[in-house]
């Protein structure tokens, strides 16, 4: 499929159907601690806000958190299956089903737009020009001086990490390396100390995609890398789109993900694998 300007659309219909939406809901407990940190960070950075718009809102998990804090709540998502529980999670939310690059919403309407872990999907699965179009839509629907909170996965860069992993996790790493299709993922055994060395990007994708093994989300996760956004490129892109970047906050320590599988970083620096960027419509 091509849009009016001939840009190739890499997909037909929403990324998440019923099975994928159910698989995500089924893992809410797995991500509970991480989500708590995510919602708290967003709430702490909301600032004065009468009207909030959560773009890529899923089943309304953040809108539910913002209830009582913000008088008017709005959410949009392209997937009717992801949105199907939103009225239960946040009955007062105004909900729109649409793609992020063509928001069915008026100009200058919101104090704050939140995009939490949607933009990497736009970059990876959208058309070449879609990210630009999404940023332009976010700017359009914001009031003058309105704020955009972008929360997403950070690229940890090209270095290597050395880790110890228990045998079960090594088995899962081998399976991940066989199936992962976003790039060639490989590790190297360090025989004398029982550790493995692998690219930081590979470790980050492995640890953050384990949850999807055997679920309806596995196929999509195996085609998508979580090593997406780089700080200065992201800031430059936001500035080109007409935003002034006010804050860049790192969170989500890779060591917590390693602990989940009984692993440890040995002899390499830890890193944060997510960021929150706060920007103002310039």
Ligand X SMILES: C[S@@+](CC[C@H](N)C(=O)[O-])C[C@H]1O[C@@H](n2cnc3c(N)ncnc32)[C@H](O)[C@@H]1O
Binding residues (CB under 6 A) for ligand X: these are 14-16, 56-58, 61, 77-79, 82, 99-100, 116-118, 121-122, 126
The answer to whether 25 touches 89, Cβ cutoff 8 Å, is no
Residue 60 or 263 having the CB closest to ligand X: 60
Q: Closest approach of Cβ 214 to ligand X, in Å? A: 19
Q: Closest approach of Cβ 92 to ligand X, in Å? A: 18
Residue 119 or 161 having the CB closest to ligand X: 119
The answer to whether 8 touches 127, Cβ cutoff 8 Å, is yes
List Cβ neighbours of 259 (8 Å cut-off, separation of 6 or more): none
Q: Closest approach of Cβ 264 to ligand X, in Å? A: 28
Token look-up 């090594």 returns: 170
Residue nearest to ligand X (CB): 56
The answer to whether 22 touches 216, Cβ cutoff 8 Å, is yes
Residue 89 or 173 having the CB closest to ligand X: 89
Q: Are strands 72-77 and 94-97 parallel, antiparallel or unpaired?
A: parallel
Helix (H, G, I), strand (E, B) or coil at 96: strand
Residue 25 or 260 having the CB closest to ligand X: 25
Q: Closest approach of Cβ 196 to ligand X, in Å? A: 28
Sheet holding 195-199, edge to edge: 188-190, 195-199, 160-164, 264-265
Residue 15 or 261 having the CB closest to ligand X: 15
Q: For the beta carbon of residue 141, count every other beta carbon within 10 angstroms.
A: 21
Q: Closest approach of Cβ 20 to ligand X, in Å? A: 8
């Amino acid at each position: 499929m091509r849009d009016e300007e001939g840009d190739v659309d890499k997909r037909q219909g929403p990324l998440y159907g019923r099975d994928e939406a159910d698989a995500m809901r089924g893992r809410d407990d797995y991500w509970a601690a991480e989500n708590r940190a995510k919602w708290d960070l967003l709430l702490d950075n909301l600032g004065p806000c009468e009207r909030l718009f959560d773009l890529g809102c899923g089943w309304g998990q953040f809108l539910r958190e913002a209830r009582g804090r913000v008088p008017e709540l709005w959410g949009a998502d392209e997937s009717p299956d992801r949105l199907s529980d939103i009225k239960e999670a946040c009955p007062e939310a105004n909900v729109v089903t649409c793609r992020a690059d063509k928001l069915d919403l008026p100009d200058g309407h919101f104090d704050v737009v939140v995009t939490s872990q949607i933009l990497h999907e736009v970059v990876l699965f959208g058309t070449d020009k879609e990210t630009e179009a999404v940023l332009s839509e976010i700017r359009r629907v914001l009031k003058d001086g309105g704020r955009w909170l972008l929360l997403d996965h950070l690229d940890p860069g090209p270095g290597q990490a050395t880790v110890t992993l228990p045998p079960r996790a090594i088995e899962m790493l081998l399976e991940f390396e066989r199936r992962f299709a976003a790039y060639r993922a490989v590790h190297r055994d360090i025989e004398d100390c029982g550790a493995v060395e692998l690219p930081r990007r590979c470790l980050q994708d492995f640890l953050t995609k384990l949850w999807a093994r055997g679920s309806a989300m596995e196929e999509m996760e195996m085609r998508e890398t979580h090593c997406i956004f780089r700080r200065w490129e992201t800031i430059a892109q936001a500035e080109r789109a007409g935003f002034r970047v006010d804050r860049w906050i790192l969170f989500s320590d890779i060591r917590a993900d390693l602990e989940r599988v009984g692993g440890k970083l040995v002899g390499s620096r830890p890193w944060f694998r997510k960021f929150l960027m706060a920007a103002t419509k310039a």
